[in-house]
Chains A and B, each alone.
Chain A
Amino acid sequence: MSSNPSAGPQAPAAPPSTVSCTIDGKPYTFPRGTLIVDAVRQVGRPIPYYCYHPRLEPVGACRVCMVQVEGPPVATRGPIVTTGCTTPVFEGLKIETMSDPAKLARQQVLEFLLINHPLDCPVCDKGGECDLQDFTLAYGPGKSQFAEQKILRHKAEDLGPFLVLDQERCILCQRCVRYENEVLHEQNLVLKERGDRTVIDTGAGEPYAGYFSGNNTELCPVGALTSHTYRFKARPWDVRPVPSVCQGCSLGCNLTVNLRGPKIVRLLWRENQAVDAGWLCDRGRYGFGHTLAEQRLATPLVRRDGELRAATWEEALSAAAAGLTAGPAAVLGGGRLTDEESLALSQLARLGLRTNDVDWRVGYQGFAAPAAIGLSEAAITDLDRSDLVLLLDTSPLEEAPVLDIRLRRTARRATVIDLGPVRNLRHAASRRVACAPDELARRVAELAPEFAAAQSPLVIWNGRGGPALAEAVAALGAPLLVVGEFANARGAEAAGLAPDLLPGYHAVGAGAEVAAVWGAELPREPGRDAAGILNAAASGDLQALYVVGANPLRSFPDGELADRALDAVPFLVVQDLFLTETAQRADVVLPALGALEKAGHTSNLVGQSQPVARAVAGPAGALADGMILRRLAAALNVTLADQAPPEAETPARVRLPEAGGERPGGGSGEELGLLLRPRLFAGGGTAAFDPNLEPVHVAGEVRLNPEGTDRLGLQEGAAVHLHGAGTTVRGTVRLDAGVLPGWVVLAAHDFGGNRLGPRVRVTAVPAAAGVAAR
Chain B
Amino acid sequence: MGALSQVRSLGRGLATTFGYLFRPRVTVDYPERERPVPERFRGLHILDRHDGGLEKCVGCELCQAACPAHCITVEAAENPPDAAVSPGERYAWRYEIDLLRCIFCGMCEEACPTGAIQLTPRHDFVAFRREDFLVDKRWLTVPDPAVVAPEAEPVRPPAGAGGKMAG
Interface residues of A (CB under 8 A from B): 121-123, 127, 155-156, 231-233, 235, 237-238, 260-263, 292
Q: If A232-B78, A237-B65 touch, does A123 touch B162 (CB 8 Å cutoff)?
A: no
User: Closest approach, in angstroms, between the C-beta of A222 and any C-beta of chain B?
Assistant: 16
Within 8 A of A (CB), among B43-77: 58-62, 64-65, 76-77
Tell me which of A231, A237, A238, A292 contacts B162 (CB under 8 A).
Answer: A292
User: Closest approach, in angstroms, between the C-beta of B96 and any C-beta of chain A?
Assistant: 13
Q: Are A156 and B114 in contact (CB under 8 A)?
A: no
User: Closest approach, in angstroms, between the C-beta of A692 and any C-beta of chain B?
Assistant: 10
Residues in B with CB closer than 8 Å to A233 are 76, 161
Residues in B with CB closer than 8 Å to A235 are 60-61, 65
Residues in B with CB closer than 8 Å to A123 are 58-60, 88-90
Question: Does B165 lie at the interface of the complex (its beta carbon under 8 Å from any beta carbon of A)?
Answer: yes
Q: Are A122 and B114 in contact (CB under 8 A)?
A: yes
Complex: chain B residue closest to A125, CB-CB: B90
Q: Are B166 and A261 in contact (CB under 8 A)?
A: yes
User: Closest approach, in angstroms, between the C-beta of B119 and any C-beta of chain A?
Assistant: 19
Q: Are B62 and A262 in contact (CB under 8 A)?
A: no
Residues in A with CB closer than 8 Å to B163 are 263, 292
Bound-complex Cα distance A292 to B160 (A): 12
Task: Give me 21 A-to-B residue pairs in the complex whose CB atoms sit less than 8 angstroms apart, sorted by A's number.
Answer: A122-B58, A122-B60, A122-B113, A123-B59, A123-B89, A127-B60, A231-B78, A232-B76, A232-B77, A232-B78, A232-B90, A235-B60, A238-B61, A238-B65, A260-B165, A261-B165, A261-B167, A262-B166, A263-B162, A263-B165, A292-B162
Bound-complex Cα distance A235 to B165 (A): 14
Residues in B with CB closer than 8 Å to A122 are 58, 60, 62, 90, 113-114
Within 8 A of A (CB), among B145-163: 161-163
Q: Are A232 and B59 in contact (CB under 8 A)?
A: yes
Q: Are B65 and A156 in contact (CB under 8 A)?
A: no
Complex: chain B residue closest to A127, CB-CB: B60
User: Closest approach, in angstroms, between the C-beta of B90 and any C-beta of chain A?
Assistant: 4
Complex: chain A residue closest to B65, CB-CB: A237
Bound-complex Cα distance A43 to B26 (A): 66
Residues in A with CB closer than 8 Å to B64 are 238
Q: Are A262 and B60 in contact (CB under 8 A)?
A: no
Which among A121, A123, A231, A261 has the greatest number of chain B C-beta atoms within 10 A? A123
Main secondary structure of the interface of B (DSSP, over half): loop
Bound-complex Cα distance A231 to B90 (A): 9
User: Closest approach, in angstroms, between the C-beta of B39 and any C-beta of chain A?
Assistant: 28
Residues in A with CB closer than 8 Å to B165 are 260-263
Complex: chain B residue closest to A237, CB-CB: B65
Residues in B with CB closer than 8 Å to A156 are 89
Bound-complex Cα distance A155 to B64 (A): 26
Interface residues of B (CB under 8 A from A): 58-62, 64-65, 76-78, 88-90, 113-114, 161-163, 165-167
Bound-complex Cα distance A758 to B113 (A): 65
User: Closest approach, in angstroms, between the C-beta of A232 and any C-beta of chain B?
Assistant: 4
Bound-complex Cα distance A700 to B130 (A): 55
Residues in B with CB closer than 8 Å to A261 are 165-167
The 6 tightest CB contacts between A and B, nearest first, are: A261-B165, A122-B60, A232-B76, A123-B90, A122-B113, A235-B61
User: Closest approach, in angstroms, between the C-beta of B46 and any C-beta of chain A?
Assistant: 19
Complex: chain A residue closest to B86, CB-CB: A123
User: Closest approach, in angstroms, between the C-beta of B76 and any C-beta of chain A?
Assistant: 4
Q: How many A-B residue pairs have CB under 8 A?
A: 44
Which among B59, B90, B113, B161 has the greatest number of chain A C-beta atoms within 10 A? B90
User: Closest approach, in angstroms, between the C-beta of A359 and any C-beta of chain B?
Assistant: 38
Bound-complex Cα distance A121 to B89 (A): 12
Residues in B with CB closer than 8 Å to A260 are 165
Q: Are A155 and B167 in contact (CB under 8 A)?
A: no
Residues in B with CB closer than 8 Å to A127 are 60
Which among A121, A232, A261 has the greatest number of chain B C-beta atoms within 10 A? A232
Which among A231, A237, A260, A292 has the greatest number of chain B C-beta atoms within 10 A? A231
Residues in A with CB closer than 8 Å to B114 are 122
Bound-complex Cα distance A260 to B166 (A): 10
Bound-complex Cα distance A237 to B113 (A): 17
Bound-complex Cα distance A155 to B167 (A): 33
Bound-complex Cα distance A237 to B166 (A): 17
Tell me which of B58, B60, B89 contacts A155 (CB under 8 A).
Answer: B89
Bound-complex Cα distance A231 to B163 (A): 15
Bound-complex Cα distance A261 to B162 (A): 12
User: Closest approach, in angstroms, between the C-beta of B121 and any C-beta of chain A?
Assistant: 27
Bound-complex Cα distance A466 to B30 (A): 90
Bound-complex Cα distance A231 to B88 (A): 14
Residues in B with CB closer than 8 Å to A121 are 60, 113
Bound-complex Cα distance A237 to B58 (A): 17
User: Closest approach, in angstroms, between the C-beta of B89 and any C-beta of chain A?
Assistant: 6
Residues in A with CB closer than 8 Å to B60 are 121-123, 127, 235
Residues in A with CB closer than 8 Å to B88 are 123
Complex: chain A residue closest to B113, CB-CB: A122
User: Closest approach, in angstroms, between the C-beta of B164 and any C-beta of chain A?
Assistant: 9
Given A122-B60, A233-B76, 6 new contacts (CB under 8 A): A122-B62, A123-B88, A231-B78, A261-B166, A263-B165, A292-B162
Residues in A with CB closer than 8 Å to B166 are 261-262
Residues in A with CB closer than 8 Å to B58 are 122-123
User: Closest approach, in angstroms, between the C-beta of A70 and any C-beta of chain B?
Assistant: 43
User: Closest approach, in angstroms, between the C-beta of B160 and any C-beta of chain A?
Assistant: 9
Bound-complex Cα distance A17 to B70 (A): 54
Bound-complex Cα distance A238 to B65 (A): 8
Residues in A with CB closer than 8 Å to B62 are 122
User: Closest approach, in angstroms, between the C-beta of B77 and any C-beta of chain A?
Assistant: 6
User: Closest approach, in angstroms, between the C-beta of A230 and any C-beta of chain B?
Assistant: 11
Bound-complex Cα distance A238 to B59 (A): 14
User: Closest approach, in angstroms, between the C-beta of B110 and any C-beta of chain A?
Assistant: 14
User: Closest approach, in angstroms, between the C-beta of A238 and any C-beta of chain B?
Assistant: 7
Residues in A with CB closer than 8 Å to B77 are 232
Complex: chain B residue closest to A231, CB-CB: B78
User: Closest approach, in angstroms, between the C-beta of B69 and any C-beta of chain A?
Assistant: 16
Residues in A with CB closer than 8 Å to B59 are 123, 232
Bound-complex Cα distance A262 to B162 (A): 12
Residues in B with CB closer than 8 Å to A232 are 59, 76-78, 89-90
Residues in B with CB closer than 8 Å to A237 are 65
User: Closest approach, in angstroms, between the C-beta of B132 and any C-beta of chain A?
Assistant: 23
User: Closest approach, in angstroms, between the C-beta of B80 and any C-beta of chain A?
Assistant: 13
Bound-complex Cα distance A641 to B138 (A): 56
User: Closest approach, in angstroms, between the C-beta of A162 and any C-beta of chain B?
Assistant: 14
Residues in A with CB closer than 8 Å to B162 are 263, 292
User: Closest approach, in angstroms, between the C-beta of A339 and any C-beta of chain B?
Assistant: 32
Bound-complex Cα distance A712 to B76 (A): 52
Bound-complex Cα distance A156 to B88 (A): 10
Complex: chain B residue closest to A232, CB-CB: B76
Complex: chain A residue closest to B112, CB-CB: A122
Complex: chain B residue closest to A235, CB-CB: B61
User: Closest approach, in angstroms, between the C-beta of B61 and any C-beta of chain A?
Assistant: 5
User: Closest approach, in angstroms, between the C-beta of B12 and any C-beta of chain A?
Assistant: 61
User: Closest approach, in angstroms, between the C-beta of A539 and any C-beta of chain B?
Assistant: 48
Bound-complex Cα distance A238 to B63 (A): 12
Complex: chain A residue closest to B87, CB-CB: A123
User: Closest approach, in angstroms, between the C-beta of B40 and any C-beta of chain A?
Assistant: 25
User: Closest approach, in angstroms, between the C-beta of A279 and any C-beta of chain B?
Assistant: 27
Bound-complex Cα distance A237 to B63 (A): 12
Complex: chain B residue closest to A228, CB-CB: B160
Bound-complex Cα distance A232 to B77 (A): 6
Bound-complex Cα distance A292 to B64 (A): 25
Residues in A with CB closer than 8 Å to B113 are 121-122
User: Closest approach, in angstroms, between the C-beta of A288 and any C-beta of chain B?
Assistant: 12
User: Closest approach, in angstroms, between the C-beta of B84 and any C-beta of chain A?
Assistant: 13
User: Closest approach, in angstroms, between the C-beta of A261 and any C-beta of chain B?
Assistant: 3
User: Closest approach, in angstroms, between the C-beta of B99 and any C-beta of chain A?
Assistant: 21
User: Closest approach, in angstroms, between the C-beta of A231 and any C-beta of chain B?
Assistant: 7
Bound-complex Cα distance A237 to B61 (A): 10
User: Closest approach, in angstroms, between the C-beta of A366 and any C-beta of chain B?
Assistant: 41
User: Closest approach, in angstroms, between the C-beta of B56 and any C-beta of chain A?
Assistant: 11
